[in-house]
């Protein structure tokens, strides 16, 4: 009977040592997983920050694009107005029979050389 009790105690001590060993291994695994989770959380935080910067940059580019579109439209309208004015001026010149001539260099050279 004493031998059985001694064997049970040895088995219990052995099981306890095995449980402590398993517990230590689980604690190490848990610590590694917690470190991995912390790294992943940091990576997610960094990615979210990059996305926020990207979204801010996209918004700024969209605003610039809209501004350029408005400026382009304004310049196009201004160009059309000038084309109408130039066309009307050319038509008026044609109607009056006035001819555009290049500036004469002869009168300047004659006055300057003599």
Give 2's pLDDT tier (boundaries 50, 70, 90): confident
pLDDT of residue 12: 96
C-alpha span between 9 and 11 (Å, rounded) = 5
Angstrom CA distances, 7 to 2, 15, 31, 76, 82, stand at 9, 12, 36, 100, 110
Give 103's pLDDT tier (boundaries 50, 70, 90): low
Residue predicted with more confidence, 88 or 98: 88
Distance of CA 87 to the CA centre of its chain: 46
Contacts of 100 (CB under 8 A, 6+ apart): 93
Contact 65, 72 (CB under 8 A): no
C-alpha span between 49 and 43 (Å, rounded) = 10
pTM of the model: 0.54
Give 114's pLDDT tier (boundaries 50, 70, 90): very low
Give 95's pLDDT tier (boundaries 50, 70, 90): confident
Distance of CA 23 to the CA centre of its chain: 48
């Amino acid at each position: 009977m004493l031998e059985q009790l001694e064997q049970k105690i040895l088995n219990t001590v052995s099981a306890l040592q095995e449980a402590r060993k398993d517990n230590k291994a689980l604690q190490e695994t848990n610590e590694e997983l917690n470190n991995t989770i912390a790294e992943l959380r940091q990576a997610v935080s960094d990615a979210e920050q990059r996305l926020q910067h990207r979204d801010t940059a996209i918004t700024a580019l969209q605003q610039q694009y809209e501004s350029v579109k408005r400026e382009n439209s304004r310049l196009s309208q201004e160009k059309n107005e000038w084309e109408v004015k130039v066309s009307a001026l050319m038509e008026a010149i044609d109607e009056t029979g006035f001819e555009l001539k290049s500036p004469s260099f002869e009168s300047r050279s004659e006055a300057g050389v003599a």
